[in-house]
Amino acid sequence: MKGDPMTKILAVANQKGGVGKTTTVINLGASIAVHDKEVLVIDLDPQANATSGLGSTEADSCGIHSFISGENSLEECVVSTEIEGLSLIRGARHLAGTEIELASQDEREFFLAEALSTSDLSNYDYVLIDCPPSLGLLTINALVAADGVLLTVQSEYYALEGLSHLIETIKRIKAHWNKRLKIFGVVLTMYDKRLKLSREVEEEADKFLGKALFSTRIPRNVRLSEAPSHGKPVILYDAYSSGAKSYMSLAREVLSR
Ligand SMILES: Nc1ncnc2c1ncn2[C@@H]1O[C@H](COP(=O)(O)OP(=O)(O)OP(=O)(O)O)[C@@H](O)[C@H]1O
Ligand SMILES: [Mg+2]
Protein backbone atom coordinates (compact mmCIF):
# COMPACT_ATOMS: atom_id res chain seq x y z
CA MET A 1 0.00 0.00 0.00
CA LYS A 2 1.29 3.45 -0.85
CA GLY A 3 1.21 6.38 1.52
CA ASP A 4 1.49 4.33 4.71
CA PRO A 5 1.57 6.89 7.55
CA MET A 6 4.36 4.89 9.18
CA THR A 7 7.21 6.35 7.14
CA LYS A 8 10.50 4.73 8.05
CA ILE A 9 13.52 7.04 8.02
CA LEU A 10 16.83 5.23 7.59
CA ALA A 11 20.29 6.81 7.65
CA VAL A 12 22.81 4.87 5.56
CA ALA A 13 26.05 5.51 7.38
CA ASN A 14 29.66 4.58 7.98
CA GLN A 15 32.44 7.06 8.71
CA LYS A 16 34.73 5.04 6.46
CA GLY A 17 34.87 6.21 2.87
CA GLY A 18 34.08 4.05 -0.13
CA VAL A 19 32.24 1.25 1.65
CA GLY A 20 29.11 1.23 -0.50
CA LYS A 21 26.84 3.74 1.27
CA THR A 22 25.81 5.64 -1.84
CA THR A 23 25.58 2.50 -3.99
CA THR A 24 23.25 1.07 -1.36
CA VAL A 25 21.09 4.19 -1.08
CA ILE A 26 20.58 4.33 -4.86
CA ASN A 27 20.03 0.64 -5.48
CA LEU A 28 18.17 -0.30 -2.33
CA GLY A 29 15.98 2.77 -2.89
CA ALA A 30 15.23 1.72 -6.47
CA SER A 31 14.63 -1.91 -5.47
CA ILE A 32 12.20 -0.93 -2.71
CA ALA A 33 10.40 1.44 -5.10
CA VAL A 34 9.77 -1.31 -7.65
CA HIS A 35 7.91 -3.16 -4.88
CA ASP A 36 5.22 -0.48 -5.30
CA LYS A 37 6.52 1.64 -2.42
CA GLU A 38 7.29 5.34 -2.33
CA VAL A 39 10.91 6.10 -1.47
CA LEU A 40 12.60 9.45 -0.90
CA VAL A 41 16.39 9.65 -1.12
CA ILE A 42 18.03 12.56 0.71
CA ASP A 43 21.55 13.31 -0.46
CA LEU A 44 23.25 14.64 2.66
CA ASP A 45 26.78 14.18 1.33
CA PRO A 46 28.58 17.23 -0.14
CA GLN A 47 30.10 14.87 -2.72
CA ALA A 48 26.53 14.62 -4.13
CA ASN A 49 27.20 11.14 -5.53
CA ALA A 50 23.64 9.93 -4.93
CA THR A 51 22.38 12.93 -6.90
CA SER A 52 24.54 12.25 -9.96
CA GLY A 53 24.05 8.48 -9.63
CA LEU A 54 20.31 9.05 -9.91
CA GLY A 55 20.74 11.11 -13.06
CA SER A 56 20.32 14.56 -11.48
CA THR A 57 22.65 17.50 -11.24
CA GLU A 58 23.69 19.32 -8.11
CA ALA A 59 21.19 21.73 -6.65
CA ASP A 60 21.93 25.47 -6.72
CA SER A 61 18.60 26.11 -5.10
CA CYS A 62 15.76 23.89 -3.86
CA GLY A 63 18.14 21.17 -2.72
CA ILE A 64 19.29 19.80 0.59
CA HIS A 65 20.79 23.11 1.65
CA SER A 66 17.59 25.10 1.33
CA PHE A 67 15.55 22.23 2.76
CA ILE A 68 17.49 21.96 6.01
CA SER A 69 17.74 25.71 6.39
CA GLY A 70 13.94 25.94 6.08
CA GLU A 71 14.09 28.18 2.98
CA ASN A 72 12.16 25.72 0.83
CA SER A 73 9.55 23.12 1.65
CA LEU A 74 9.91 19.40 1.02
CA GLU A 75 7.49 19.65 -1.92
CA GLU A 76 9.61 22.40 -3.47
CA CYS A 77 12.82 20.41 -3.10
CA VAL A 78 11.74 16.94 -4.25
CA VAL A 79 12.59 15.89 -7.81
CA SER A 80 11.58 12.66 -9.54
CA THR A 81 13.94 10.03 -10.96
CA GLU A 82 13.72 7.52 -13.79
CA ILE A 83 12.26 4.98 -11.36
CA GLU A 84 8.60 5.45 -10.57
CA GLY A 85 8.17 5.85 -6.83
CA LEU A 86 11.76 6.97 -6.25
CA SER A 87 12.27 10.68 -5.52
CA LEU A 88 15.25 12.71 -4.49
CA ILE A 89 16.29 15.78 -2.54
CA ARG A 90 19.44 16.78 -4.36
CA GLY A 91 22.78 17.34 -2.71
CA ALA A 92 25.33 20.03 -3.46
CA ARG A 93 29.00 20.61 -2.89
CA HIS A 94 28.35 23.83 -0.98
CA LEU A 95 26.73 21.66 1.70
CA ALA A 96 30.26 21.38 3.06
CA GLY A 97 29.96 25.11 3.86
CA THR A 98 26.61 24.42 5.52
CA GLU A 99 28.28 22.00 7.89
CA ILE A 100 30.60 24.80 8.99
CA GLU A 101 27.67 27.25 9.32
CA LEU A 102 25.76 24.72 11.38
CA ALA A 103 28.65 24.27 13.77
CA SER A 104 28.18 27.69 15.34
CA GLN A 105 24.41 27.47 15.81
CA ASP A 106 22.19 26.36 18.66
CA GLU A 107 20.36 23.09 18.15
CA ARG A 108 22.83 22.36 15.39
CA GLU A 109 22.19 18.62 15.62
CA PHE A 110 18.48 19.04 14.87
CA PHE A 111 18.26 20.85 11.54
CA LEU A 112 17.33 17.84 9.42
CA ALA A 113 15.08 16.35 12.12
CA GLU A 114 13.25 19.68 12.36
CA ALA A 115 12.88 20.03 8.58
CA LEU A 116 11.52 16.47 8.30
CA SER A 117 9.21 16.69 11.27
CA THR A 118 7.55 19.80 9.89
CA SER A 119 7.13 18.17 6.44
CA ASP A 120 4.32 15.94 5.28
CA LEU A 121 6.01 12.58 4.78
CA SER A 122 2.79 10.59 4.56
CA ASN A 123 3.35 9.93 0.83
CA TYR A 124 6.56 8.07 1.58
CA ASP A 125 7.08 4.56 2.89
CA TYR A 126 10.85 4.97 3.23
CA VAL A 127 13.26 7.87 3.46
CA LEU A 128 16.90 6.90 2.84
CA ILE A 129 19.58 9.40 3.86
CA ASP A 130 22.99 9.13 2.19
CA CYS A 131 25.59 10.23 4.75
CA PRO A 132 29.09 11.55 4.12
CA PRO A 133 32.13 9.51 5.22
CA SER A 134 32.59 11.17 8.60
CA LEU A 135 30.94 11.39 11.97
CA GLY A 136 30.63 15.17 11.61
CA LEU A 137 27.54 17.32 12.01
CA LEU A 138 25.87 16.21 8.79
CA THR A 139 25.96 12.54 9.79
CA ILE A 140 24.85 13.49 13.31
CA ASN A 141 21.92 15.39 11.79
CA ALA A 142 20.98 12.25 9.86
CA LEU A 143 21.20 10.05 12.97
CA VAL A 144 19.13 12.49 15.01
CA ALA A 145 16.45 12.55 12.29
CA ALA A 146 16.35 8.78 11.64
CA ASP A 147 14.37 5.89 13.07
CA GLY A 148 17.15 3.50 12.20
CA VAL A 149 20.68 3.25 10.86
CA LEU A 150 21.61 0.97 8.02
CA LEU A 151 25.33 0.33 8.14
CA THR A 152 27.29 -0.75 5.10
CA VAL A 153 30.44 -2.70 5.83
CA GLN A 154 32.97 -3.52 3.17
CA SER A 155 34.19 -7.09 3.36
CA GLU A 156 37.79 -6.18 4.09
CA TYR A 157 40.35 -6.10 6.86
CA TYR A 158 39.76 -3.49 9.63
CA ALA A 159 36.12 -3.17 8.57
CA LEU A 160 34.85 -4.20 11.97
CA GLU A 161 37.22 -2.03 13.98
CA GLY A 162 35.64 1.17 12.71
CA LEU A 163 32.26 -0.41 13.31
CA SER A 164 32.55 -0.50 17.10
CA HIS A 165 33.37 3.22 17.12
CA LEU A 166 30.33 3.88 14.96
CA ILE A 167 28.11 1.78 17.19
CA GLU A 168 29.33 3.75 20.25
CA THR A 169 28.41 7.00 18.48
CA ILE A 170 24.96 5.63 17.68
CA LYS A 171 24.47 4.75 21.36
CA ARG A 172 25.51 8.25 22.41
CA ILE A 173 23.12 9.89 19.96
CA LYS A 174 20.35 7.60 21.13
CA ALA A 175 21.02 8.51 24.77
CA HIS A 176 21.20 12.28 24.23
CA TRP A 177 19.14 13.23 21.25
CA ASN A 178 17.07 10.51 19.65
CA LYS A 179 15.55 7.74 21.72
CA ARG A 180 13.90 6.21 18.63
CA LEU A 181 17.22 5.43 16.99
CA LYS A 182 17.95 1.76 16.37
CA ILE A 183 20.48 -0.17 14.37
CA PHE A 184 18.14 -1.26 11.61
CA GLY A 185 20.63 -3.58 9.97
CA VAL A 186 24.13 -4.12 8.68
CA VAL A 187 24.91 -5.19 5.13
CA LEU A 188 28.18 -6.62 3.89
CA THR A 189 29.19 -5.02 0.59
CA MET A 190 31.79 -5.86 -2.06
CA TYR A 191 31.68 -9.42 -0.86
CA ASP A 192 33.63 -12.08 -2.75
CA LYS A 193 32.97 -15.57 -1.51
CA ARG A 194 36.11 -16.88 -3.22
CA LEU A 195 38.25 -14.72 -0.96
CA LYS A 196 39.24 -16.05 2.41
CA LEU A 197 39.27 -12.48 3.71
CA SER A 198 35.63 -11.91 2.75
CA ARG A 199 34.62 -15.11 4.51
CA GLU A 200 36.60 -14.15 7.62
CA VAL A 201 34.96 -10.73 7.82
CA GLU A 202 31.61 -12.45 7.32
CA GLU A 203 32.23 -14.87 10.17
CA GLU A 204 33.32 -12.11 12.54
CA ALA A 205 30.45 -9.85 11.53
CA ASP A 206 28.07 -12.71 12.14
CA LYS A 207 29.44 -13.24 15.66
CA PHE A 208 29.60 -9.56 16.49
CA LEU A 209 26.28 -8.47 15.00
CA GLY A 210 23.98 -11.47 15.24
CA LYS A 211 20.53 -10.74 13.87
CA ALA A 212 21.45 -7.18 12.87
CA LEU A 213 23.42 -8.62 9.95
CA PHE A 214 21.31 -9.00 6.81
CA SER A 215 21.57 -12.43 5.17
CA THR A 216 21.96 -10.81 1.76
CA ARG A 217 25.57 -10.19 0.74
CA ILE A 218 26.24 -7.53 -1.90
CA PRO A 219 28.87 -9.03 -4.21
CA ARG A 220 31.61 -7.09 -5.90
CA ASN A 221 30.03 -6.50 -9.30
CA VAL A 222 31.33 -4.23 -12.04
CA ARG A 223 27.78 -3.35 -13.18
CA LEU A 224 27.19 -1.67 -9.81
CA SER A 225 30.20 0.56 -10.35
CA GLU A 226 29.31 1.35 -13.98
CA ALA A 227 25.64 2.24 -13.46
CA PRO A 228 26.20 5.64 -11.72
CA SER A 229 28.10 7.04 -14.70
CA HIS A 230 24.91 6.44 -16.70
CA GLY A 231 22.87 8.14 -13.97
CA LYS A 232 20.88 4.97 -13.39
CA PRO A 233 20.24 2.46 -10.63
CA VAL A 234 21.59 -0.93 -11.63
CA ILE A 235 18.13 -2.42 -12.23
CA LEU A 236 17.75 -0.03 -15.17
CA TYR A 237 21.30 -0.57 -16.35
CA ASP A 238 21.56 -4.35 -16.11
CA ALA A 239 18.65 -5.99 -14.34
CA TYR A 240 20.17 -9.46 -14.66
CA SER A 241 23.51 -8.59 -13.04
CA SER A 242 24.44 -10.13 -9.71
CA GLY A 243 24.48 -6.61 -8.26
CA ALA A 244 20.89 -5.94 -9.30
CA LYS A 245 19.70 -9.29 -7.94
CA SER A 246 21.48 -8.77 -4.63
CA TYR A 247 19.90 -5.36 -4.05
CA MET A 248 16.46 -6.82 -4.87
CA SER A 249 17.11 -9.46 -2.25
CA LEU A 250 18.22 -6.83 0.27
CA ALA A 251 15.04 -4.85 -0.47
CA ARG A 252 12.91 -7.89 0.38
CA GLU A 253 14.75 -8.26 3.68
CA VAL A 254 14.33 -4.58 4.49
CA LEU A 255 10.61 -4.72 3.67
CA SER A 256 10.12 -7.66 5.99
CA ARG A 257 11.99 -6.12 8.98
N1 LIG B 1 29.27 -4.07 -4.70
C2 LIG B 1 30.09 -3.32 -5.44
N3 LIG B 1 30.77 -3.86 -6.48
C4 LIG B 1 31.62 -3.11 -7.20
N5 LIG B 1 31.85 -1.82 -6.99
C6 LIG B 1 31.20 -1.21 -5.97
C7 LIG B 1 30.28 -1.93 -5.14
N8 LIG B 1 29.80 -1.08 -4.22
C9 LIG B 1 30.38 0.11 -4.45
N10 LIG B 1 31.22 0.04 -5.49
C11 LIG B 1 32.07 1.11 -6.03
O12 LIG B 1 32.98 1.47 -5.00
C13 LIG B 1 33.12 2.89 -4.91
C14 LIG B 1 32.64 3.36 -3.53
O15 LIG B 1 31.26 3.04 -3.39
P16 LIG B 1 30.24 4.11 -2.83
O17 LIG B 1 30.41 5.42 -3.51
O18 LIG B 1 28.89 3.50 -2.83
O19 LIG B 1 30.77 4.20 -1.33
P20 LIG B 1 30.48 5.31 -0.25
O21 LIG B 1 30.57 4.63 1.07
O22 LIG B 1 29.23 6.03 -0.55
O23 LIG B 1 31.70 6.29 -0.47
P24 LIG B 1 31.91 7.73 0.24
O25 LIG B 1 32.26 7.40 1.64
O26 LIG B 1 33.00 8.40 -0.51
O27 LIG B 1 30.60 8.45 0.15
C28 LIG B 1 32.30 3.46 -6.05
O29 LIG B 1 33.14 3.65 -7.14
C30 LIG B 1 31.28 2.37 -6.34
O31 LIG B 1 30.85 2.40 -7.69
MG1 LIG C 1 28.90 8.08 -0.75
Q: Could you tell me if residue 2 is inside a domain?
A: no
Nearest to 183 by CA among 159, 164, 158, 155: 164
20 lies in some domain: yes
Q: Is residue 56 part of a domain?
A: yes
Give the lowest-confidence range in 33-37, 88-92, 205-209.
205-209
Structural domain containing residue 102: 8-251
Instruction: Determine the average pLDDT of the residues in 48-58.
Output: 96
106 falls within a domain: yes
Query: 50 alpha carbon to ligand 2 midpoint, in Å?
Result: 7
Neighbours of 249 (CB within 10 A): 16
Q: What confidence score (pLDDT) does residue 148 get?
A: 97
155 CB under 6 A from ligand 1? no
Q: Which atom of ligand 1 is nearest to the CA of 228?
A: 31
**Distance from the alpha carbon of residue 21 to the mean position of ligand 2, in angstroms:** 5
Long-range (24+ apart) CB contacts under 8 A made by 167-170 are 169/135, 169/143, 170/143
Determine contact, residues 206/159, Cβ cutoff 8 Å: no
Query: Which of 150, 188, 147, 145 shows the shortest CA–CA distance to 166?
Result: 150
Q: What is the mean pLDDT of residues 146-155?
A: 96
Structural domain contains residue 256:
no
Average pLDDT over residues 150-176: 90
pLDDT tens digits, residue range 1-40?
Answer: 344 458 999 999 999 999 999 999 999 999 999 999 999 9
Does any domain span residue 19? Answer: yes
Alpha helices in 120-241 (DSSP H): 137-145, 159-176, 196-209, 222-226, 234-237
Q: What is the CATH number of the domain that holds 96?
A: 3.40.50.300
Structural domain contains residue 168: yes
Distance (Å, rounded) from C-alpha 239 to C-alpha 257?
A: 24
49 lines ligand 1 (CB under 6 A): yes
- At 90, is the pLDDT very low, low, confident or very high (cuts 50, 70, 90)? very high
Q: Closest ligand 1 atom, CA of 227? A: 31
Rounded average pLDDT over 226-239: 98
Cα–Cα dist 210/240, whole Å: 30
pLDDT of residue 159: 80
Domain presence at residue 3: no
Our count of domains for the chain comes to 1
Which of 8, 40, 41 has its CA nearest to residue 256?
8
